[in-house]
Amino acid sequence: MMNLVDAQELAALRSLSANIGSNPHLTQAAGGNTSLKIGDTLWIKASGTWLRDAIAEDIMVPVAMSPLLRAVERRDPTADIPQAFAIEALNPRKLRPSIETTVHALMPQRVVLHVHCVDTISLAVQADCEAEIARRLGEIRWAFVPYRRPGLPLAQGIAERLRPGVDVLILGNHGLVVAAETVAEAELLLNRVTMQLARPARPVSAPDIGALRELAGDSGYVVPADIEAHAVATDPESCRMAEAGSLYPDHVIFLGQGSVAAAPGENVARTIERRGAAPMAILFPGLGVLMRGDANASAHAMQRCLADVTARVDVTTQLNYLTAAENDELINWDAEQYRQRLNTRG
Ligand SMILES: [Zn+2]
Which among 60, 23, 36 has a CA at the least distance from the CA of 185? 36
Predicted pLDDT of residue 341: 66
How do 260-261 and 281-284 pair as beta strands? parallel
Predicted pLDDT of residue 117: 98
Predicted pLDDT of residue 346: 40
Predicted pLDDT of residue 338: 63
CA of 322 to the centre of ligand 1 (A): 15
pLDDT one-digit tens code per residue, 185-213: 999 999 999 999 999 999 999 999 999 99
CA of 249 to the centre of ligand 1 (A): 8
pLDDT one-digit tens code per residue, 269-302: 999 999 999 999 999 999 999 999 999 999 999 9
- Tell me which of 153-162, 222-231, 336-345 is least confident: 336-345
- Report whether pLDDT(344) > 70: no
Instruction: Work out the mean pLDDT of the chain and round it to a whole number.
Output: 95
Which among 122, 133, 104, 106 has a CA at the least distance from the CA of 46? 104
Q: Which DSSP string corresponds to 165-226?
A: T--EEEETTTEEEEEESSHHHHHHHHHHHHHHH--PPPP-PPP-HHHHHHHHTTS--B--SS
CA of 150 to the centre of ligand 1 (A): 7
Instruction: Give me the percent of the chain exceeding a pLDDT of 70.
Output: 96
CA of 232 to the centre of ligand 1 (A): 22
CA of 260 to the centre of ligand 1 (A): 24
Contact criterion met (CB below 8 Å) for 333 and 152: no
- Report whether pLDDT(62) > 60: yes
- Where b means 16+ CB within 10 Å and e means fewer, 123-135 reads bbbbeebbebbee
CA of 154 to the centre of ligand 1 (A): 10
The three-class DSSP label of residue 153 is helix
CA of 265 to the centre of ligand 1 (A): 37
CA of 30 to the centre of ligand 1 (A): 9
Which among 263, 294, 300, 260 has a CA at the least distance from the CA of 277? 260
- Report whether pLDDT(132) > 90: yes
Predicted pLDDT of residue 332: 85
CA of 309 to the centre of ligand 1 (A): 15
CA of 248 to the centre of ligand 1 (A): 9
Instruction: Give me the percent of the chain exceeding a pLDDT of 90.
Output: 91
Contact criterion met (CB below 8 Å) for 32 and 21: yes
CA of 91 to the centre of ligand 1 (A): 23
CA of 247 to the centre of ligand 1 (A): 13
Predicted pLDDT of residue 2: 84
pLDDT one-digit tens code per residue, 159-176: 999 999 999 999 999 999
Give the rounded distance of the alpha carbon of 127 from its chain centre.
19
CA of 49 to the centre of ligand 1 (A): 13
Distance CA 327, CA 89 (A): 37
Residue 62: C-alpha distances to residues 3, 17, 79 (Å): 15, 16, 15
CA of 139 to the centre of ligand 1 (A): 25
CA of 298 to the centre of ligand 1 (A): 14
Helices (H) and strands (E) in the chain, counts: 15, 10
Cβ-based neighbours of 265, under 8 Å, separated by 6 or more: none
How do 142-145 and 168-171 pair as beta strands? parallel
CA of 231 to the centre of ligand 1 (A): 23
Predicted pLDDT of residue 53: 96
CA of 274 to the centre of ligand 1 (A): 33
